[in-house]
Amino acid sequence: MKEIYVVGAIIKSQSKVLCAQRSDKMSLPGLWEFPGGKIEGEETHQEALKREINEELKMDIRASDQLFKKVTYDYDFGRVHLSAYRCELIKGTPILTEHQTVKWLEIDDLDKLSWAPADIPIVDKLKKEGI
């Protein structure tokens, strides 16, 4: 099975979290995720988060050094190892380059979205612990 290493950014602003909907051109079309993507080369998780959020949403963030949660999920296209980190917004408002939509949601509203399966344990932990 193909092993795919991915980072996801839990970007907080005020009491809300940024949620992103995958587009029809991506794998898992229409499902919601924490923005981020595949780790490249030797970069750290924090470097990968900063790069991906800059590329995808043109925003500047700082990722925590502390892992929030790691989830491994077997999709038909491979095994995704998703590491999620809390991130602080430094600058910018999201400019969509890949996603279909983004939304800032309160934790209590996260359940209203259809999340990618790998994200569900992360959403559950956020609901329990807050952001």
Ligand X SMILES: Nc1nc2c([nH]c(=O)n2[C@H]2C[C@H](O)[C@@H](COP(=O)(O)OP(=O)(O)OP(=O)(O)O)O2)c(=O)[nH]1
> What is the binding site for ligand X (CB under 6 A)?
4, 6, 8, 26-28, 33-38, 80, 82, 116, 118-119
- The least distance separating ligand X from the CB of residue 90, rounded to whole angstroms, comes to 19
Instruction: State the Cα–Cα distance between residues 104 and 43, nearest whole angstrom.
Output: 28
Residue whose CB is less far from ligand X, 63 or 82: 82
Q: Tell the smallest beta-carbon distance from residue 26 to ligand X (Å).
A: 4
Write down the least CB distance from residue 43 to ligand X, Å: 13
The total of other beta-carbon atoms located within 10 Å of residue 22's CB is 19
Distance CA 88, CA 59 (A): 11
Q: What b/e readout covers 95-107, taking b as 16+ CB neighbours within 10 angstroms?
A: eeeebeebbbbeb
Residue 76, C-beta contacts closer than 8 angstroms, at least 6 positions apart = none
Q: Of 4 and 62, which has the nearer Cβ to ligand X?
A: 4
Identify the CA nearest to 35 among candidates 14, 17, 47: 17
Question: Shortest gap between Cβ of 36 and ligand X (angstroms)?
Answer: 4
Nearest CB to ligand X, comparing residues 6 and 87: 6
Q: Residue number with the shortest CB distance to ligand X?
A: 37
Nearer to ligand X, 116 or 126 (CB): 116
